[in-house]
Homo-oligomer: A and B are copies of this chain.
Amino acid sequence: MTQLIEDLRWRYSTKKFDPTKTISDADFKVLMEVIALVPSSNGLQPYKFMVVENPEIRKKLREKSWNQSQVTDASHLVVMCAYIQLNEWHIDEFITLNQVVRAAEPEKLVGFSMHLKNSIISKPLEEMTANNENQVYIALGHLLHAAAQMRIDSSPMEGFQKEAYDEILGLKEKNLKSVVVCALGYRSDEDAYQHQKKVRKNTDDLFEWVV
């Protein structure tokens, strides 16, 4: 068994975190760096991540999350958000970033910029938002994976009231919407779920070969 598989087997969706244990700044910095490296559609990174430290706000969010204790007890609570709408400004910002990082020929980027504007901004809003949300889930995949490698526990959560989260965190005004929450920290010894066997389909059920 490779280390990689061992890491993923170690992971489980933590239901009860030890509230006394905190992820070090150095470790959380690595996780942020992981998130920054995640690939996204056209490279646009159409998302933002709110790290909620304020205990009062965490309490309010917990009330909107079926009272799940992870929301208040985990070391770090990351509300993963997608941009509702990508506009010309986002594309221009991205093109500028390309120019700076790659010292790219401006001419080449004009075409790229036009292509992005044509193909993205013209999309119906709902489709655009859904695409951005999908990218958030790629980031979630990397985050869960990286945390497991670092022996940091995680609890991805879709069971929360999104509109209430958006309201509490003032997301709509920022052109953002909450997509999925990831609580990160260290499992409590009392969390019985850590001892349960993983329930997974076998690869024969998951893969089909087109020969």
Residues of A at under 8 Å CB distance from B? 2, 4-5, 8-9, 11, 13, 29-30, 32-39, 41, 43, 45, 47-54, 57, 94, 97-98, 101-102, 130-131, 133-135, 137-146, 149-150, 156, 158, 169, 180, 196-203, 206-211
Contacts and interface: CB of A to CB of B under 8 A. Distances in A.
A142 B149 CA distance: 12
B32 A4 contact: no
Nearest to A28: B207
Interface of A is mostly: helix
Copies in the complex: 2
A47 B196 CA distance: 23
Point out which of A4, A49, A57 has the most chain B C-beta atoms below 10 A from its C-beta: A4
Contacts of A210: 50-54, 57, 169
B201 A97 contact: yes
A98 B169 CA distance: 37
Contact of A206 (B39, B45, B149): B45
A102 B130 CA distance: 36
26 contacts: A4-B34, A8-B142, A11-B37, A32-B206, A32-B207, A35-B203, A35-B206, A36-B200, A36-B201, A37-B198, A41-B158, A49-B206, A49-B208, A50-B210, A51-B207, A53-B210, A53-B211, A54-B210, A54-B211, A97-B199, A98-B199, A130-B130, A137-B140, A138-B141, A138-B144, A145-B145
